[in-house]
Amino acid sequence: MKDLKHLLEFENLLEDAANPLIRQAQADGQYAVGYTCYHMPEVLLNVDNCFSTRIRAPRSGSIDIATYYMSNYTCEYARSLLERAIEGGYEYLDAIAGVDACSAMNRCYEHMEILKCNTKPHFFVTHTDVPYKIEEYTIDQFETQMRLRLLDVMHEKFGTDTSDEALIKAVQEHNEMCRIMTEIGEFRKMDNPPVTGYEYHVLCLVSYCCPTKLITPLLRETLEEIKTREPDQKCPYRARVVVAGSEVDDLDFTRLLEEAGALVVADRYCYGSKPGREEIILNDHEDILRQICRHYMKTSECARYMAADKIQQRRDTIDQLAKDFRADGIIFEQMKYCDFWAFERPLASHILAEEYGWPVLSIDRSYNVRNSGQLRTRFQAFVEALEIKNIQKGRR
């Protein structure tokens, strides 16, 4: 297929945490608020004079210093972020909005504060609590946390307008971007899609890492380009897969998988398109902030939620995605030493295979896979198994 017009530009934006669009927004008087977890409502960080940027550590190398502070049995994502912070890689941020959801990430935030990894006078790190259950009283708590520990602090530090009108405007801008990403994602239901899983991963990541107002016009232009894009006459992929599990911001993971012959047609991982790129539907009779908080709690697929209904929700979501996008199999991944997904992945992989009937490849991986020979071999073997299974179905 002909290369997408902005693909190289998007890839370059993901080469550094402080990408040019972030610098442009800050030059226009905007404040960059970094975050790492879906439990921190992205839309609340895009209010008035602030914009959200999903914190990554691209091109990570040694994480020895962070390991000294956090031990080698904690999530490599958290350690990579701390290593980059110690190196001065997040001096561009004006704030970090954290949630007490993951113990490893909490330690990362705390070390960033203690070691004074950002010296801006107005810089702050805020921690908000996240309930383990979804009830009206826990939504009360979440709403209160977001008001007191996020919006009020943004107003105090940056003079941010946190009125209902400002929140509604942020939701409208968020929804526009989500509609674009959803429409692009729908093309992957086709037999021979005009967009690859790798390309969609790039688009999804820039939508998280760049200011919404600046990246949305480029995404809209890319959508119009994809509508008329001619795919290769013959689809070069041998199987269709859904990728599910923990955090994936490493483009090499998707590239390696598709080079092995598997087209990624849908995703359900942290900072993928589900959850994260669904529209927030507001009504006229309830507090705006409460509606936003409820949306994020209900749509969250985090393994931190251990209630029976949430466990079932996660399995049903993956099953439905695989059906809707006509996948041949599921790849369930987990980052090494991720506490929550280390419990979720083995059991969910077994149940999706035994009770739902899906071929499942279950893996744990490093934060940056680079050109892992072992992972490539496992991907290739899984694709071959799916291919053989499809041939056998055809014979029957």
Could you give the CA distance from residue 30 to residue 37 in angstroms, rounded to a whole number? 21
Could you give the CA distance from residue 113 to residue 129 in angstroms, rounded to a whole number? 18
Side chain identity at residue 121, one-letter code: P
Could you give the CA distance from residue 226 to residue 207 in angstroms, rounded to a whole number? 17
Q: At what angle do helices 197-209 and 164-186 cross, to 10 degrees?
A: 170
Could you give the CA distance from residue 176 to residue 160 in angstroms, rounded to a whole number? 22
- Extract the residue ranges of the chain whose pLDDT is less than 70: 395-396
Following DSSP, what letter does each residue of 120-140 receive, concatenated? -TT-EEEEEE--SS-SHHHHH
Residue 253 sits at the vertex; the CA angle it makes with 251 and 257, to the nearest 5 degrees, is 120
Topology of the domain comprising 234-395? Rossmann fold (3.40.50)
Assess contact for 279 and 392: CB atoms under 8 A: no
What backbone torsions phi and psi does residue 31 show, to the nearest 5 degrees?
-110, 130
Assess contact for 75 and 105: CB atoms under 8 A: yes
Could you give the CA distance from residue 385 to residue 382 in angstroms, rounded to a whole number? 5
Q: Which two three-digit tokens encode residue 235?
A: 């689809």
Q: What is the pLDDT of residue 182?
A: 97
Residue 251 sits at the vertex; the CA angle it makes with 246 and 257, to the nearest 5 degrees, is 80
Q: What pLDDT digit, counting tens, does each position of 360-383 carry?
A: 999 999 998 877 788 999 999 999
Confirm whether pTM is higher than 0.85: yes
Chain centroid to CA 126: 20
Q: What is the pLDDT of residue 395?
A: 56
Query: 114-122 contacts: CB < 8 A, separation 24 or more?
Result: 115/85, 115/86, 117/85, 117/86, 117/88, 117/90, 117/91, 118/85, 118/90, 118/91, 118/93, 119/91, 120/91, 120/93, 120/94, 122/94, 122/157, 122/158
Following DSSP, what letter does each residue of 197-211 receive, concatenated? HHHHHHHHHHHHHS-
Phi-psi region of 41 (alpha: psi -120 to 50; beta: other; left: phi over 0): beta
Q: What is the pLDDT of residue 389?
A: 87
Question: If residue 266 lies in a helix (H) or strand (E), which one and from where to where?
Answer: strand 262-269
